[in-house]
């Protein structure tokens, strides 16, 4: 019963990813895509978390942490790129 619930939630998260993917594809503007990517990243975290419960394993917790950091950094970098044109600014001489 517990496994079934986990599977259903996995499925739901997967469909959420698919929906977000459609937004990535459709756009229409760049921020739309970035927000969609960010939500895909968060959904992936949820997916891995549910999956690790399903597998009864703690080996995936590092992946969750890493994904959280990456999604955050990625979104920040993208946003900065859209706002200023570069992701990493050079030092001013």
Partner 1 sequence: MSWVHLMIVLPLLFAVLIPLLYKAFPRIHTGWFVLVVPVVIFGYLATYLPMLANGETALYEIPWIPYLDINFTVFVDGLGLIFALIISGIGALVIIYSIYYLSKAREALHNFYVYLMMFMGAMLGVVLSDNMIVLYLFWELTSISSFLLIAYWYQRKQSRFGAQKAMLITVLGGFAMLASIIMIHNITGTFSIREVIAQSDLLVQHDLFLPAMLLLLLGAFTKSAQFPFHIWLPDAMEAPTPISAYLHSATMVKAGIYLVARFTPAFGGTPEWFWIVTFVGLFTLIWGSLNAVKQRDLKGLLAFSTISQLGLIMSLLGMGSAALYFNPGDQGVQLHAYAVLAAVFHLINHSTFKGSLFMVVGIVDHETGTRDMRKLGGLMTIMPVSFTLAVIGSLSMAGLPPFNGFISKEMFFTGTLNAANLDIFNMATYGAIIPIVAWVASVFTFIYSIILVYRTFLGKYQPERLEKKAHEAPLGMLIPPSILGFLVLAIFFFPNVIGDYALKPMVASIIPSAAGVFDDYTISWWHGFVPELFMTMAVVALGLILFATLNRWIGLYNHMPQWMHLNNWFKHGLSGMERGSHKVIDWHMTGYIRDYLMYIFITIILIVGGSYFMLNDFTLYTDNLASINLFEIVLALVLLGSTVLVMATRSRLTAVVSVGVLGYVVALFFIILRAPDLALTQLAIETVSVALYLLCFYHLPKLKGRGEEEGEKFKVGNFIIALGIGSLVTLLALSVNGYNLFEPISTYYGDSYDLAGAANMVNAILADFRAFDTFLEIFVVAIAALGVYALVRLRLEKRGGTDESQ
List the one residue from 5, 19, 31, 66 that touches partner 1 (CB under 8 A).
66
Give the residue from 71, 22, 73, 7 showing the smallest Cα distance to 44: 71
CA 9/CA 80 separation, integer angstroms: 34
Kindly state whether residue 1 participates in binding partner 1, applying the rule CB under 8 A: no
User: Applying CB under 8 A, what is the total number of residues that bind partner 1?
Assistant: 32
CA 48/CA 89 separation, integer angstroms: 34
x/- contact string, 17-36, with partner 1 (CB under 8 A)?
A: xx--x--xx-------x---
> Which C-beta is closer to partner 1: that of 15 or that of 31?
15
């Amino acid at each position: 019963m517990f496994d079934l619930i986990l599977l259903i939630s996995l499925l739901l998260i997967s469909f959420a990813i698919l929906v977000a993917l459609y937004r990535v594809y459709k756009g229409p503007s760049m921020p739309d895509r970035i927000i969609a990517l960010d939500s895909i990243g968060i959904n992936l975290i949820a997916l891995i978390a549910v999956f690790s419960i399903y597998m009864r394993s703690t080996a995936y917790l590092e992946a969750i942490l890493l994904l959280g950091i990456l999604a955050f950094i990625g979104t920040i970098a993208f946003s900065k790129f859209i706002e200023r044109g570069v992701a990493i600014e050079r030092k001013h001489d």
